Amino acid sequence: MAFTPKAGCPMCGIVATASHAAPNSPRSPSFPAGSTQPEVLWRDDNFTCYREKANPVSSRGHVVIVFNLHVPSLYTLSSSDLPLLATVKSLAIQLLTSITNPASPAQMPVSATFSTPLQVDHSTFRIGFVTPPFKDNKIPVTDHLHAHAYIAPADLAGWWRGIAYSSVAWYAIDDLVAEIREETSNNRVRSGNTNRPGRSKRPIEMVPDAGARAGTADGREITDAGIAVTDPESGELLNPTSPQSLSPDSLAPQSQIPVLQLQT
């Protein structure tokens, strides 16, 4: 499925403006004092992240993570996009951390996992999506998928706008990932107290693509095509249109043992 840019879409405009930057790189643009132009913080093949300066919901920091493709809805995503959602979360944590500690900005992520945990309290980080029919009336884009990441509390939202960031309309990314994993596996994992200080990571959270692949008992791959732009060097791409199956011959133990010929 193609997700081509849409004329007049503000998010597509931001993505196009940042497209000249080198991929997988942080941005450090200079803006005049009082500027409300989107401050692009990061761009790669899948996302463009900018700091919301015109209408932030939090005085401590508000970042918008835009999908580069014009994906119309959250419900377009499938289980094969779980690694993409893991990247959204890791980007959000890194960017909010760099806002919290501007003197020592966090290293930008190149993957969704980290070898060492960040020594930062993430209990005030909120990462997720505003779900329809609700919308952020200051960023009223409903047909180009984007995630919000901010540092609580949402002290600049006001009561009406705050509904979009309340439990009525807010879909936390941890809950979304857990919901998808329940649909594709027996991992009944809820986000629970993800913001509790001192909470240790569950082992499954260290595997971004857990639950992303689907198959049948006879070995056929039935994983849906994801929307991510995958690095060809990271591994073989799945092709859901022509699922691979294991033949009975390949499953036979004798077929894997070479024939030895003895000479007398």
The two structure tokens encoding residue 168? 């009525």
Residue 79 or 116, more confident: 79
> What's the mean pLDDT in 178-206?
64
| Whether pLDDT at 176 is above 80 | yes
Among 49-53, 127-131, 230-234, which stretch is predicted with the lowest mean pLDDT?
230-234
> What's the mean pLDDT in 126-130?
97
Q: Select from 148, 143, 147 the least CA-distant residue to 72.
A: 143
| Whether pLDDT at 239 is above 50 | no
Tokens 């997700």 found at: 3
Tokens 């945990």 found at: 117
| Whether pLDDT at 55 is above 90 | yes
**pTM listed for this prediction:** 0.74
Q: Select from 190, 164, 186 the least CA-distant residue to 175.
A: 190
Question: Are 52 and 77 a contacting pair, CB within 8 Å?
Answer: no
Q: What is the pLDDT of residue 216?
A: 74
Alpha carbons within 13 angstroms on the beta-carbon side of residue 157 total: 22
| Whether pLDDT at 249 is above 50 | no
| Whether pLDDT at 256 is above 50 | no
The two structure tokens encoding residue 61? 């920091």
Q: Which domains does the chain have, with CATH numbers?
A: 10-22+36-102+121-206 (3.30.428.10)
Average pLDDT, the chain: 75
Q: What is the pLDDT of residue 115?
A: 39
Q: What percentage of residues in the chain have a pLDDT greater than 90?
A: 41
Residue 128 or 197, more confident: 128
Residue 29 or 5, more confident: 5
85-102 burial code (b ≥16 CB/10 A, e <16): bbbbbbbbbbbbbbbbee
